[in-house]
Structure 1
């Protein structure tokens, strides 16, 4: 964990605390070491502006992240830079005041609330969550990406497939000749 991203609540003055962070190769390498299933192809480069402000016992975290992430295309498996720009607002409440053993229904406002423990706020986990929220479900290098041939693996964006065409194995192939 990056100690610069562990914020002591006592540092939050009345005007709040403004931070500008550069998240680069080292930050992404540490994240990938902790989470090997992370699907980044390589490190990205993000600039993050964060404002933390006390609201009684709660802490408002407002931020903006911008930069590029290096992703793998889900169709052709090439690396590409994916531009990222996102604003976020998060309300942090003391875990001890809100979490109970009882089940209770959450209100829509509760869904924008997260929790902190003790006298520190862990910005690392907040920033990781915000980065993950910016990722597309199926990263594509281009909307028109043709992907790879399922038989020979040829990149169909670069060259046509040379695989021999086989007769269809569809159960409906016999209906092809029926005329209506």
Structure 2
């Protein structure tokens, strides 16, 4: 089985179980999946490496997951235990991606990643509202600070990128000036 197929199987099962209890539970599951993947993938903890190491006994790995992730939703914690048991803990990132994709598909959501050189603060609501007007779907915003941007924002929704950064506007202005110069 390919990584994406395996990830989809786990994500789909988790979504089905969460959907029985409603949207708030699905929100919690997604947050906990994201949190657990972030913790596992942080190189400073090397937790993922330890959980994949063949010389560390499985019972120690399971105990470690129970201790580190004791505050997570029971479904996510049990998923992590199952992944460790089956030697598939590295699939968690793919499971998170598939879970998000399933939510977007089944709940009519769209995820937008907003890159800006500063925290959005009050602009967050205005950006979300405008994107919802444009798409006709509920938009879930994810903020990412990008200090390489001079100003403005860049928004990524699926394959679509809306570049309202100062850099993009300056590049566009340069292109227009060059075209104008060459047309003389």
Scaled by the length of structure 2, what TM-score is found? 0.23
Q: Which has the higher helix share?
A: 2
Larger Rg: 1
Scaled by the length of structure 1, what TM-score is found? 0.23
Q: Which has the higher strand share?
A: 1
